Amino acid sequence: MDYGPAQESDILAREWIKSHGPKFRQFVNGKWVAPKAKKYLISREPSTGRKLASIPLSGKQDINHAVRSAHEAFDNWKKLSCHVRARYLYAMARQIQKNARLFAVLEALDNGKTIRETRDIDIPLVARHFYHHAGWAQVRDSALQGYEPLGVIGQIIPWNFPMLMLAWKIAPALAMGNTVVLKPAEYTSLTALLFAEICEQINLPPGVVNIVTGDGSTGAELVKHRDISKIAFTGSTEVGRKICQVTADSEKRLSLELGGKSPFIVFDDADLDGVVEGIVDAIWFNQGQVCCAGSRLLVQESITNKLYRKIKNRMEKLRVGHSLDKGVDIGAIVAPVQLKTIESLVSKGLDEGADMWQPSWTCPKEGWYYPPTLFTNVAPASLIAQEEIFGPVLIAMSFRTPSEAVKLANNTRYGLAASIWTENINLALDIAPKVKAGSVWVNCTNVFDAASGFGGYRESGFGREGGIEGLYEYVRFGIEKDFLPAPTVLSPLNKSKGVGNVNQVPGIDRTAKMYMGGKQKRPDGGYNMPVFNASGDLAGQVGLGNRKDIRNAVEAAHAAEGWSTTAAHIRAQVLYFVGENLEARAAEFAGRLSDLLGQTKRRSLREVNMTLERIFTYAAYADKYEGTIHDTPYRNVTLAMKEPLGVMGIVCPEEAPLLGFVSAVLPPIAMGNTVVAVPSSTFPLLATDLYQVLDTSDVPPGVVNIVTGDKDLLADVLSDHDDVDGLWYFGSREGSTRIRYSSAANMKRTWVNFGRNPDWFDPAQTKPDYFLHKAVQIKNIWIPYGE
């Protein structure tokens, strides 16, 4: 017997569309306004291809208007009490819940995803997000002491989860006291406009939420606008990269949720029937148009045939059809252009020699559909194994051992999510930390919750949405306002007696080498540079590092990655030992500081003592800056683990040459990163003196590598390096811009100072969590727990 139709009624949704006239308007400053240029886009219904509505194609003037309104609203909104803001967010949650069915139907019509998903997943999660963040709004001042809102946030969202992405962006931004201008995707703006109506109904102050519809050019105007404090973006890695580059010279903060090619790893002891249902959720949920879709199936070799058979049986029974049919598993593809992308990548997969399997039934003729597809016999390096297809296409590969599974899983430039299927908890928890991904699901997949952060590793972007970790994306450390202009080159070099050629200077005491892999290394280029003291006399020489030195140092840092899995307690002990050994040489370091800076011994001793204190602080935090357990409302607990970024470049400040160096290098080390440090160009001798201390303190070779030379030149090499995962830069404004721009190539996590540094001596301006936060990325591991 065949399935009968079970169509959800669309009457109310169509009436709602009609009530907005033949043409929608945008929502700015609490009013519905037509686009200045009177241009419109047509939004279509993917299930049939028919026109659904005309929506404004907003341009520069519309963006200016919206940003101005958000600015005007910001002052009052941020001054409201936490409780009042919480009330507004709570009211949004209530209204969304009351209008849940209308939202669900409208979303299904506009996007083509099934009503089953919008009704049971998208919209309930949207309401949950607003409720959860109403809570964060209420407790903001105690939960995030010392932080303040950023200002006007530009938010750009994609078409795959239109309302959910809106909630992920708007709820935390408002809860932290910001105002927003949000641009939905051109194919799916309708639920955002319905949300605008809710803002009206709850009497949200005008300008707090502005919804400006349009296409990529509208998004680009928003990104460029100089009165925006932050861009929060979800979409393709390509556009994410562009946004990094366009905003490089501004102090705009960024959070980017980008693409993925997530592994779905099945071990031979897994419950295969559970696995098959997991695969349905991983790759046929939302037609596979999901950034964290489990699109790469990695199967232990001994069970491949059995599992492939089961998957094919299940695929044969999946139903593709109209998004409002309640009995349908897979809806329509969002737009013809996306359908073409899928078709083209599938045909490339066939050209590459992979085996394709599709069910025997055919898709509806009207509308834009693609059948569930399985590729086996896929080479790991092939295009379909590497590129995000963003469609219902599963790529399967096999592995023999757990370590091979990890290698295959990490064989991608992305790192958004992974799921691990095994009945062996030891195995699952052995693999989870080894997979480079922001979310790891054990025996489940594609589960999300407002209490848990979501976001990527590597080229899947940076920043988190959800959980307490997501809140930090919408606040700034209040004391940043007091940071001072950072000197680029300090006095001694300027005061040099004009000795350009070091050979003319008698009495050279020594030439400090660089430090790589625990060994002293001569500079590759064979050149040194002089270092002068406060009187302008030559104090010594250091190597003039070049590109090759940085490459060698990065290699040494990679070779030391075992530091990341060294027990935090051991890392702490090593850092304490550094402190102990520095103390033994305190007088010598103070002497060096006095000579170079021309300051009193007392002042120099103060810097050494402060450095010791800082070393103790980060030694203490090495095993105390812990993860959290999120209380996600399923049969789960979610471990939010703070993991190191990997290899980090640290371009140190010029001033406070000992304290500044230690303050910048120690937080990453304490968190398990390995570091290539470029010390102050003016006073590199403090750093090169320090490696003797590191050498005697059990710091494993390669954990700290020091390359001396022209700071900005070396910083540029680090930012161009594809194997550097994070880069901190304490230098000039121009240098900061360059670093941000070129780091976009591999989506490095950058922290640049735009020419202003904290006062390294001020504990309030050097709060440890401010630094530690930037030295880790959070992996959320979902583990079955309880009933």
Under rule CB under 6 A, residue 236 binds ligand NDP: yes
Query: Is residue 309 classed exposed, middle or buried when 0-12, 13-18 and 19+ CB atoms within 10 A define those classes?
Result: exposed
Under rule CB under 6 A, residue 242 binds ligand NDP: yes
Contact 58, 218 (CB under 8 A): yes
Nearer to ligand NDP, 239 or 248 (CB): 239
> Would you tell me how many other CB atoms lie within 10 Å of the CB of residue 256?
24
Under rule CB under 6 A, residue 651 binds ligand NDP: no
Beta bridge partners of 515: 520, 706
Sheet of strand 417-421: strand arrangement: 355-357, 373-376, 393-399, 296-300, 263-266, 417-421, 439-442, 776-784, 636-644, 628-630
Under rule CB under 6 A, residue 219 binds ligand NDP: yes
User: Is 301 considered catalytic here?
Assistant: no
Min CB(260)–ligand NDP separation in Å: 7
Nearer to ligand NDP, 259 or 649 (CB): 259
Q: Which of 153, 180, 239, 666 binds ligand NDP (CB under 6 A)?
A: 239
Paired tokens of 141: 């001042």
DSSP sequence for 650-690: EE--SSSTTHHHHHHHHHHHHTT-EEEEE--SS-HHHHHHH
Under rule CB under 6 A, residue 661 binds ligand NDP: no
Min CB(378)–ligand NDP separation in Å: 18
Which alpha helices (DSSP H) does 490-559 contain, by range?
491-494, 547-559
Residues 328-347 that bind ligand NDP (CB under 6 A): 341
Under rule CB under 6 A, residue 466 binds ligand NDP: no
Q: Is 149 left (phi over 0), alpha (psi -120 to 50) or beta?
A: beta
Under rule CB under 6 A, residue 286 binds ligand NDP: no
**Whole-number Å distance between alpha carbons of 787 and 782:** 15
In this chain, which stretch among 234-242, 264-272, 587-595, 598-606 interacts with ligand NDP, using CB under 6 A?
Answer: 234-242
Under rule CB under 6 A, residue 48 binds ligand NDP: no
Min CB(386)–ligand NDP separation in Å: 13
Min CB(225)–ligand NDP separation in Å: 11
Min CB(579)–ligand NDP separation in Å: 44
Lookup result for tokens 């299930």: 47
Angle at 117 between CA 113 and CA 120, to 5 degrees: 155
Query: Is residue 599 classed exposed, middle or buried when 0-12, 13-18 and 19+ CB atoms within 10 A define those classes?
Result: middle
3-state DSSP assignment of residue 22: coil
Under rule CB under 6 A, residue 223 binds ligand NDP: yes
Residue nearest to ligand NDP (CB): 219
**Whole-number Å distance between alpha carbons of 105 and 124:** 13
Under rule CB under 6 A, residue 388 binds ligand NDP: yes
Query: Is residue 56 classed exposed, middle or buried when 0-12, 13-18 and 19+ CB atoms within 10 A define those classes?
Result: buried
Q: Which of 112, 235, 402, 646 binds ligand NDP (CB under 6 A)?
A: 235
Min CB(258)–ligand NDP separation in Å: 5
Under rule CB under 6 A, residue 258 binds ligand NDP: yes
Q: Report how many residues bind ligand NDP under the rule CB under 6 A.
A: 25
Lookup result for tokens 């020594």: 510
Residues 122-181 that bind ligand NDP (CB under 6 A): 156-160
Q: Which of 67, 134, 170, 185 binds ligand NDP (CB under 6 A)?
A: 185
Q: Which positions from 97 to 116 touch ligand NDP by CB under 6 A, shown as an x/- string?
A: --------------------
Distances (CA, A) of 555 to 26, 51, 546, 728: 52, 56, 14, 18
Angle at 114 between CA 113 and CA 118, to 5 degrees: 85
Nearer to ligand NDP, 288 or 709 (CB): 288
Min CB(157)–ligand NDP separation in Å: 6
Angle at 718 between CA 712 and CA 724, to 5 degrees: 155
Distances (CA, A) of 133 to 138, 229, 361, 465: 8, 21, 44, 11
Q: Which of 146, 216, 327, 701 binds ligand NDP (CB under 6 A)?
A: 216
Min CB(408)–ligand NDP separation in Å: 21
Q: Which residue is catalytic, options 45, 257, 473, 643?
A: 257
**Whole-number Å distance between alpha carbons of 170 and 163:** 10
Q: Which residue is catalytic, options 82, 291, 292, 652?
A: 291
Min CB(237)–ligand NDP separation in Å: 8
User: Is 257 considered catalytic here?
Assistant: yes
Enumerate binding residues for ligand NDP (CB under 6 A): 156-160, 183, 185-186, 215-216, 219-220, 223, 234-236, 239, 242, 257-259, 291, 341, 388, 390
User: So which residues are the catalytic ones?
Assistant: 257, 291
